[in-house]
Amino acid sequence: MTLCFSAPVSNPIIAALDVPTANEALTLAKAIAPAVGAFKIGKELFVAEGPDIVRRVRDTGAAVFLDLKFHDIPNTVAKAVTSAAQQDVQMLTVHASGGTAMLRAAQEAAGDNGPLVLGVTVLTSMDEQDLTELGIQKTPAEQVRHLAQLAAAAGLRGLVCSPQEIAPLRQVLPAEVQLVTPGIRPAGSASGDQKRVMTPADAITAGADWLVIGRPIYAAENPREAAEAIRESLG
């Protein structure tokens, strides 16, 4: 199945399969696939089930966003990206804080026809106090901008950032760079451990290409209805 990950996208919802077992993930994926654009496989599910979970989700016809946030020496990250591409993932993440050489190695390993490599800037669970603890004397917005420009200069075609940073990044990044946005909470939803959040409609209006949505969908009484309601809210 050929999947297009160039903007604009017809359905920007990436549903996070943040569940501990393959059975739960596949049940959820099959139930909500018609209402979402892709599925995110993160560390919990990948470590519990191994690489085979990627194939099993892909077998449903769904696109896969492998969110393992690679961060290592350039050669190691390049090999990890190559392995991910061989598993037929459509998107994957690397930490932009890994530096230019690592980012370039990741993008070169993916190539023009491989998965969309996304640079992770500042985790949405982090605020200015958290950055200060790490010795970074910048606000989250300043650090996001710095890392985003670093990643774009290294050749990455996509970035992960919180909704509040979308509009400022659109002013300084090439138009073709896709922005993937976690920290999405429908109106009235609990923010949980996310400190920088926004509603789906507001994030798209700000310029996001993709919305990563987890608990508001998978923890809903009816995940399919929750996903459909979010999609309808986008107009």
Write down the domain spans for the chain. 13-233
Q: What integer pLDDT is reported at residue 185 of this predicted model? A: 86
Selecting among 40, 43, 69, 138, the annotated active-site residue is 69
Residue of 142, 146, 180, 139 lying closest to 163 (CA atoms): 180
Is the Cβ–Cβ distance between 72 and 105 less than 8 Å? no
CATH number, domain 13-233: 3.20.20.70
Task: Provide the residue-wise pLDDT of the chain in tens; the chain has 235 residues.
Answer: 334 455 456 899 999 999 999 999 999 999 999 999 999 999 999 999 999 999 999 988 889 999 999 999 999 999 999 999 999 999 999 999 999 999 999 999 999 999 999 999 988 788 999 999 999 999 988 999 999 999 999 999 999 988 888 999 999 999 999 999 988 988 766 555 555 578 999 999 999 999 999 999 999 999 999 999 999 999 7
Is the Cβ–Cβ distance between 104 and 80 less than 8 Å? no
Residue 195: active-site member? no
Residue of 163, 167, 214, 208 lying closest to 193 (CA atoms): 214
Is the Cβ–Cβ distance between 95 and 120 less than 8 Å? yes
Q: What integer pLDDT is reported at residue 188 of this predicted model? A: 60
